[in-house]
């Protein structure tokens, strides 16, 4: 029989005991909301990136309002996604969750953040989302409204019928700003660009966020102007006014300036990325997203 060696036992036990007392590294759940004409199937690369960099992360790529259903009015989509997200938030408890929202989905997520008084979102990542609206002759526009160009789409979008299409809910014609403010069911209301009975509560809800990350770039090809992804937009001469020049920032209508002055807004401008490639570009993930998902 081999002799008992206390030193050997001690050597074996040290790694085991260290494993028992070491803190378990855990990551906050990540909730992904897709954009126009997308579905959860479009985000397999993003899911792989998250699983590789943060193993064990609970990632929920929500499968709602897919494909043509994504044209449903945005307030209807906000309600549907909010119902799906709420149980995930509750399960996360005080640790909170991260929202990663692409394109049109970034506006849906803002609607959720502003209308949910008990959300526990830590970081909201807005990935190439038209946060200040859309105004451009893109392939999407020609596909959806072949008889219209950007200069006359307001004739459809700024009607009761037009506002039943999601893209019209954030169509922001800088040459017809007054009509937009009065008619826009979603974006003008969300921005509190007109008197809004819920404005104070919505601002308070938005400011529950710990951080907002804005990602976009000049070669996007769909978001027009691309600076809308950073809360910039055209004036009446189609000159770009950056985020801090926007009325919604200067008057802090929904909390954007307050969040920024807290140092809680991170902005990334990435050249060379087409609109449909943001969520499958590993460089974008590594440089703009990965570090925020802790």
Which sequence positions are flagged as catalytic? 103, 220, 275
Of 163, 158, 201, nearest to 180 (Cα)?
A: 158
What's phi and psi for 121, nearest 5 deg?
A: -75, 125
Quickly count: other Cβ atoms within 10 Å of residue 202's Cβ.
Answer: 25
Cα–Cα distance measured from residue 141 to residue 146, given in angstroms and rounded to the nearest whole number? 7
In sequence order, the 6+-apart residues with CB closer than 8 A to the CB of 186 are: 73, 74, 75, 107, 111, 163, 169, 170
Of 203, 31, 23, nearest to 113 (Cα)?
A: 203
Cα–Cα distance measured from residue 149 to residue 138, given in angstroms and rounded to the nearest whole number? 9
| 36: DSSP letter | T
Cα separation values, 132 from 22, 40, 53, 181, 282, Å: 46, 25, 32, 12, 26
Cα–Cα distance measured from residue 14 to residue 21, given in angstroms and rounded to the nearest whole number? 11
Cα–Cα distance measured from residue 200 to residue 3, given in angstroms and rounded to the nearest whole number? 76
Residues in the chain: 294
């Amino acid at each position: 029989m081999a002799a008992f060696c206390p030193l050997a036992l001690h050597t074996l036990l040290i790694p085991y005991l260290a494993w028992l007392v070491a803190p378990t590294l855990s990551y906050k759940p990540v909730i992904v909301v897709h954009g126009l004409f997308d579905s959860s199937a479009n985000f397999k690369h993003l899911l792989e990136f998250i699983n590789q960099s943060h193993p064990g992360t609970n990632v929920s790529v929500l499968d709602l309002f897919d494909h043509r259903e994504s044209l449903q009015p945005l307030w209807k989509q906000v309600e549907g996604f909010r119902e799906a997200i709420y149980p995930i938030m509750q399960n996360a408890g005080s640790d909170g969750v991260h929202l990663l929202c692409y394109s049109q989905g970034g506006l849906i997520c803002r609607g959720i953040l502003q209308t949910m008084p008990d959300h526990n979102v830590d970081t909201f990542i807005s990935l190439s989302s038209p946060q200040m609206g859309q105004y451009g002759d893109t392939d999407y526009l020609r596909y959806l409204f072949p008889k219209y160009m950007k200069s006359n789409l307001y004739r459809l979008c700024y009607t009761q019928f037009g506002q039943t299409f999601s893209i019209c809910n954030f169509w922001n014609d800088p040459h017809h700003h007054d009509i937009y403010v009065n008619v826009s069911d979603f974006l003008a209301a969300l921005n509190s660009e007109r008197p809004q009975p819920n404005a104070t509560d919505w601002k308070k809800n938005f400011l529950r966020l710990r951080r907002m990350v804005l990602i976009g770039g000049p070669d996007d090809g769909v978001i027009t102007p691309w600076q809308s992804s950073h809360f910039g937009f055209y004036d009446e001469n189609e000159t770009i006014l950056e985020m801090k020049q926007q009325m919604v920032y200067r008057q802090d209508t929904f909390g954007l300036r307050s969040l920024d002055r807290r140092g809680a807004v991170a902005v990334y401008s990435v050249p060379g990325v087409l609109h449909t490639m943001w969520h499958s570009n590993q460089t974008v993930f590594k440089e703009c997203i990965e570090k925020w998902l802790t």
